[in-house]
Amino acid sequence: MLEHRIRHIGLRSRVVMAEEAQTWIRDGMTLGVSGFTKSGDAKAVLQALANRVEQSGERLGINVYSGASLGETDGILSAQHLIRRRLPYQSDGLMRKAINAGEIDYVDQHLSHTAEFLRGGSLGEIDLAIIEATAITEDGGIVPTTSVGNSPIFVQRAKHVIVEINLNIPEAFEGMHDIYQPLCRPHRQPIPITSVRDRIGRTSIPCDPEKIVAIVPSTLSDTPSSIVPADDDTLRMAGYILDFLGHEVRHGRLPEQLAPLQSGVGSVSNAVLGGLVNSPFKHLEIYTEVMQDAVFDLLDAGKVSFASASSLTLSEHKARRVTNDIERYRDRIMLRPQEISNHPEVVRRLGVIAMNTALEVDIYGNVNSTHVFGTHMMNGIGGSGDFARNAALTVFVTKSVAKGGSISSIVPFVTHVDHTEHDVDVLVTERGLADLRGLSPRQRARTIIDKLAHPDYRDALLDYFTRAQRRGGQTPHLLEEALSWHQRFRETGDMRKTKNLARVM
């Protein structure tokens, strides 16, 4: 079986078990590992390393660079205190705890930036790349599995490469990937993508066979996504967005087939895409970083004609069905490096409609996507910034309240700004949709308070804004009160002044 997967005859002698391959990893190394939102991530070698450290008790620290979050491996490495530096994104609870305790140096980056920083030399050298693969071609090319992420730049920059051949991935995955790497500046040419369907690269990651020091057979599966079923609030938000898109079509601001759609990770984004199944829209295209379950529902329903992304991040049931039936989809989907799937040049050229999730938003439209109460990292900015600033239409969604109503997601001033009001076109909660395009800051505030705020907080927000206006300014604020709601929650467990009288409807 491995002979079919390792077509370069000279590399077949380098097959070893993960326990042997992990000995290449030494203290202080920087690893570039495959993986994007829990998909196509290097698993066997890193988990073997964690087992070694757990059994030996040795102290070892490594820097781990990836495409985005790894699956359970992030948590396994964190449990053994193996990670010193991590970038550009994570979503593991145990790693999050270590980051917020200051035990891991976490660099939260726009996902399109990592490859450029590596190419420019500002992130140092990659000692070892560990890449999950479907196969190795006759010339040493590495065929990815369920994601591409940053794997091409890791392979290009690494001193040595370990390849994990995942035998659970059908060989039919070969041909779905489009590997294109920009030239170094200043001689770079425009990225020649003018359509979601454009293929501009090769189907494998180019690699000098001499770099490959070990090939490890693996049968470890991707960690499934944790999308929960849509609740009433989520479905309501999805309905507002779909109605809005229909309104834009009727007024000639969008074509009948819309524009290429981008959707971030999460249940709300998945529900918005899922709502398109029963919508009148047809011949849709997807240009995103992550294909979730809903994309395949749309493909099955004949609503989406083509989808481009950097990874397949699916629930356990959907992953099993798609993997086993990949021949049905392979001519309608494409996986690209994340510096291409998220590239500002391409996003702007295609006129993408971007939909992402916020933790909190303020009355002027600034969005916090990453930090709980301004200090504690949740996951990271991911690709939302890549799309938000460059999309033709940028939408952020959040429920109006959290923690049973004790936290308002609409606040006077966000505690951390990931996306400024200049990058936000539309905001949506279960209470309504606010189209902020062309509005001044004061107009934005009135619209956001009226359309989006929960009734328990609407009067308090309006009172804050009314008193702030008396002091004047283009963007009125009461500096001594701007973050007082967050402080009240820390002191009382509730942002409301009279929580005993409030009830979330």
Which residues are identified as catalytic?
289
Instruction: Answer for the pair 53, 253: CB distance below 8 angstroms, yes or no.
Output: no
Q: Which of 309, 238, 328 is nearest to 37 (CA)?
A: 309
- What is the separation, in whole angstroms, between the first and last Cα of the chain? 59
The torsion angle over the Cα atoms of residues 424, 428, 429 and 431, rounded to 10 degrees, is 130
Distance CA 144, CA 93 (A): 27
Peptide bond into 170 cis (omega under 30): no
Q: What is the DSSP string of 396-457?
A: EE--SEEGGGTEESEESS-SS-SB-GGG--EEEETTEEEE-TT--HHHHHHHHHHHHS-HHH
The tokens for 417 are: 């700004």
H or E stretch covering 85: strand 83-87
H or E stretch covering 44: helix 44-56
Number of H helices, E strands in the chain: 17, 26
Q: Which of 101, 141, 67, 480 is nearest to 311 (CA)?
A: 67
> 72-79 vs 93-100: helix axis angle to the nearest 10?
50
H or E stretch covering 100: helix 93-100
The tokens for 468 are: 């702030």
Q: What is the DSSP string of 330-342?
A: TTTEEE-BHHHHT
Instruction: Answer for the pair 371, 378: CB distance below 8 angstroms, yes or no.
Output: yes
Q: Which of 140, 142, 189 is nearest to 32 (CA)?
A: 142
